[in-house]
């Protein structure tokens, strides 16, 4: 802008005219500080945090690949629990193994993977056990319960008599 002072003056004139017309009155957020400007002072990565929040991107997406793989290894059992077919469980474990092998073969960062590929058959076996446990729990929950026999005496009188005498 320093090379073109007439442009800077023209921009200032246009802003002043718009203010005089009231074009900037009653804008949404008027009178409140800008979040981005405030965040930029405190955090240099404010823009990526704002993007992740706006687009609902989980924070794990910004991790290096080895850390993502570690996280996926930790949560594998919880992710496959909801799957309904053994082939889907097997495919999930094999896809994770392929990514682990690729990271071991050609590392994308200086962080080591620190784990070998998972045993696919073990993942499937655990999934089957978890599925059986879920089925047995749902069968127990579906069974009608026996009503509990109420062993309460009908109390007569006021509460203070009961409190002091136990009757």
Question: In terms of domains, do 52 and 103 share one?
Answer: no
Please give the residue range of the domain that contains residue 129. 64-137
Question: In terms of domains, do 79 and 97 share one?
Answer: yes
CB atoms within 10 A of CB 19: 11
Question: In terms of domains, do 108 and 58 share one?
Answer: no
Q: Does residue 113 contact residue 103 with C-beta atoms inside 8 Å? A: yes
The whole-angstrom separation of Cα 10 and Cα 22 is: 18
Question: In terms of domains, do 108 and 85 share one?
Answer: yes
> How many domains does the structure of the chain reveal?
2
pTM over 0.85? The answer is no
| pLDDT tens by residue, 44-61 | 888 888 888 899 988 888
Does residue 146 belong to any structural domain of this protein?
no
Distance of CA 75 to the CA centre of its chain: 13
The whole-angstrom separation of Cα 66 and Cα 64 is: 6
| pLDDT tens by residue, 82-126 | 899 999 999 999 999 999 999 999 999 898 887 889 999 999 999
Does residue 88 belong to any structural domain of this protein?
yes
pLDDT at residue 1, as a whole number: 47
More confident: 104 or 42: 104
> CA angle 68-73-76, nearest 5°?
115
Does residue 116 belong to any structural domain of this protein?
yes
Q: How far is CA 107 from CA 64, 67, 94, 123, 148, in A?
A: 10, 12, 19, 25, 62
Residue 80 burial by Cβ neighbours in a 10 Å radius (0-12, 13-18, 19+): buried
Six-digit token pair at 63? 């991790």
Distance of CA 139 to the CA centre of its chain: 31
């Amino acid at each position: 802008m320093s090379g073109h002072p007439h442009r800077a003056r023209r921009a200032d004139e246009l802003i002043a005219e718009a203010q005089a017309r009231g074009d900037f009155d009653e804008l949404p957020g008027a009178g409140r500080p800008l979040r981005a400007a405030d965040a930029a002072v405190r955090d240099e990565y404010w823009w990526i945090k704002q993007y992740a929040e706006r687009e609902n991107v989980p924070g794990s997406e910004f991790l290096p690949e080895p850390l993502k793989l570690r996280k996926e290894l930790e949560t594998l059992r919880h992710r496959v629990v909801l799957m309904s077919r053994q082939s889907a469980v097997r495919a999930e474990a094999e896809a994770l193994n392929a990514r682990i092998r690729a990271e071991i073969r050609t590392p994308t960062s200086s962080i080591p993977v620190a784990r070998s590929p998972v045993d696919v058959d073990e993942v499937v076996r655990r999934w089957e056990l978890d599925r059986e446990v879920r089925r047995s729990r749902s069968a127990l929950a579906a069974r009608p319960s026996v009503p509990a026999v109420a062993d309460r005496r009908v109390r007569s009188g006021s509460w203070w008599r009961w409190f002091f005498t136990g009757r």
